[in-house]
Structure 1
Amino acid sequence: MATMREVAKLAGVSVATVSRVLNQNGYVNQETEKRVKEAIQTLNYKPNEVARSLYKKSSRTIGLIVPDISNPFFPELVRAVEDVMNIYDYTVILCNSDEKGDKEKEYIDILKQRYVDGIILTTNQLTSEELSDINVPVVVLDRPLDHSFPSVVANNYEGARMATNYLYKQGCRRIAHIQGPLHVVNALERFRGYQDEMKSLGLWDETLVFIGNYQMSEAKIATMEALTNQKIDGIFAGNDVMAAGALKAAQQLGLRVPEDLAIIGYDNIPLAEMTTPELTTISQPIYDMGAIAARLLVKKIEGKPIDQIHHVLPVKLVRRESTR
């Protein structure tokens, strides 16, 4: 593998001149620059990207921190971010925090040491003060913090009201909600939308709410307990993974879906079409969310004006077999 010194020797210039050409830093006359580039091509010289990152305090790299890559919602977000970043010649470093604040902080320290140019966060373990100390551009995706940082989210509140009202129109009157983690903003927004819609229908009953933590197994256990102890004819689950858990619980108890129990999920991930029956769900524009967040971050990194800092994208109901 060729070295910078060999490039300099072939071009008849100093190593410092080669460095200036590579980093586009400092004046080099046109003829000299041409000789250096020809030498680079002849020797097939590949710059040491780590060294260049240290010198320029930039790496053409961004960090993407997700809370749980095993949740099928996040791979589609990751794909969108990666697709857009590749267009702008940025590499994406994926970090899985497992919903742990300490692990998230550790990842951020590592990313800063690698001189990433920006970070996209789909977690909300850190405070605004902690994020402000990062000192690189940050965009928040799916789980908003406050208005200090650009953000991209779906309209979780309206989606929850839409799901609850649809179950009501299907004839359900004992509508339960499987709630996501209590510390996650979008889970709280979906709960709030469900609660407000139930109150407006005169059906609010706090005993109809149980926690599934966005996990299939926890949702299944909670659903079996709820269905065993009280009358429920509809379930709005805070994500499709929990809806699948509720479906498994109903089937295990011998209940027919949707005849005995209607179920609606949230997200519209591929899993929703793989269950039997297929899940009715609230569809988020997952790919669009990731793509918009990536473009926002590129603008932040490159110092370009941002027309709209906060994006709240609409959701829609997708009717399938788990409702009547």
Structure 2
Amino acid sequence: MVTIKDVAKAAGVSPATVSLALNNNDKVNRETRKRVQAVARSLNYIPNARAKALVEKSTKIIGLVIPEIHNPFFSEMAQAIKDYLQDSDYSIILCGTDNNPDLESKYINMFKGGLVDGAIFSCITNVNNEVVHDLARNYLPLVYIDRVAEDEEVIPMIKSNLAEGAYQLTRHLLDLGHRKIAFIGRTDEERFQGYLKGMQEAGCPVIESYIFDQSYTFDQGIAAGKTLLTLPEKPTGVVCFNDEVALGLTQFMVKAGRKIPTDLSVCGIDNTVSRYYNPEITTIDVPKQEMGRTAARLLLKMIKGEKIRAEERFIHFPVTLIKRDSTAPPR
């Protein structure tokens, strides 16, 4: 393995000069910097990241904590964050929790140990909020995406209006003539409140057997579909937690011989894979890429010690209803 001493010997300078030159330090004149950097490239020299982090007191790494790496919503967001960071010296490390608070706690402890210079949390759960706030107050800057902060002065929050999204979907189904509308998602989260608001405004009953709690994956969409088919009085429309649930439900219904939207109108939220299915799924577009870029921009400002303006501590992004072929008037 090529060391800094090998580069110094080949370039005819001291190891200290090599270190300064590779970090573009002005203490080394421009010609010497170029010559040292050229020698380092020719020898395929790779700086010791640990040693560099100790000297600079910076890892140049940002942690991104998400619940599901395979979920297209989070992968699109992660890509936007990575792309934004390309013009900086920072890279991201992806930390998937699988919706497991214990795994999130493990990442938090890793961050406390100096693994990253800052982190973005995009997990709905609030189980570890106290621990996360301790991380933000005493260790490193953090930004939330679609996770509620107890104190926006400590953790700035980037938020999409998911309650409004579920409300728009519910109103869309009601406007089509549906009155028996199910909800597949989480009852402890704002999307359910948006669904309830729409149903209550229309004077429609919320039927207990139409509510599916803790259902936010493709497989849980399939499971909900199996249960729906056993009901004596079936819903004619469904508001789903996200596009994954909507696709799981739709796929199961089609395999079971049901037609979408003739037998059941289905809506999702996110606008990810929904546009690639047949029929294309009616959904709510969430500006995930813009949210990711905004979170990265804010976090870099915090890492650099720049002041965050009051209006940047809570940024609310609007959502948009996209009507597609999976919804129609009931039979």
Contact 2:10/2:39 (<8 A) preserved: no
Match of 1:261 in 2: 264
Q: Percent identity?
A: 37
Query: How many Å separate the matches in 2 of 1:7 and 1:275?
Result: 55
| Change in CA separation of 1:218 and 1:46 when aligned onto 2, cut-off 3 Å | closer
Which sections of structure 2, spanning at least 5 residues, go unmatched?
none
Query: How many Å separate the matches in 2 of 1:9 and 1:54?
Result: 24
Residue 175 (structure 2) pairs with residue 163 (structure 1): no
Cα offset for 1:94?
0.8
User: Counterpart of 1:76 in structure 2: which amino acid?
Assistant: E
Per-residue displacement from partner, 1:165-206 (whole Å, max 9, x unpaired)?
0000001011111114x56xxxx1000110111111111314
Contact 1:7/1:36 (<8 A) preserved: no
Query: How many Å separate the matches in 2 of 1:76 and 1:116?
Result: 22
Match of 2:292 in 1: 290
Query: How many Å separate the matches in 1 of 2:224 and 2:46?
Result: 56
Query: How many Å separate the matches in 1 of 2:40 and 2:249?
Result: 62
Equivalent residues in 2 for 1:4-23 (5 A)?
4-6=4-6, 15-16=15-16, 19=19
Query: How many Å separate the matches in 1 of 2:70 and 2:163?
Result: 25
Contact 1:240/1:268 (<8 A) preserved: yes
Match of 1:85 in 2: 85
Q: Secondary structure at the match of 1:153?
A: strand
Give me the TM-score of the superposition, normalised by structure 2: 0.85
| Change in CA separation of 1:60 and 1:257 when aligned onto 2, cut-off 3 Å | same
Query: How many Å separate the matches in 1 of 2:35 and 2:169?
Result: 63
Equivalent residues in 2 for 1:141-220 (5 A)?
141-146=145-150, 147=152, 148-180=154-186, 188-207=189-208, 208-211=210-213, 213-220=215-222
Moved more, 14-23 or 92-101: 14-23
Per-residue displacement from partner, 1:244-283 (whole Å, max 9, x unpaired)?
12213432443322222211111110x2123221111111
Q: Secondary structure at the match of 2:70?
A: coil
Q: Secondary structure at the match of 2:269?
A: strand
Equivalent residues in 2 for 1:56-135 (5 A)?
56-123=56-123, 124-134=125-135, 135=139
Contact 1:68/1:99 (<8 A) preserved: yes
Cα offset for 1:43?
4.5
User: Counterpart of 1:88 in structure 2: which amino acid?
Assistant: S
Equivalent residues, number: 315
Equivalent residues in 2 for 1:265-276 (5 A)?
265-269=268-272, 271-276=273-278
Contact 1:137/1:301 (<8 A) preserved: yes
User: Counterpart of 2:199 in structure 1: which amino acid?
Assistant: M
Cα offset for 1:223?
2.6
Which sections of structure 1, spanning at least 5 residues, go unmatched?
none
Cα offset for 1:242?
0.9
Query: How many Å separate the matches in 1 of 2:33 and 2:247?
Result: 61
Match of 2:323 in 1: 319
Contact 1:272/1:279 (<8 A) preserved: yes
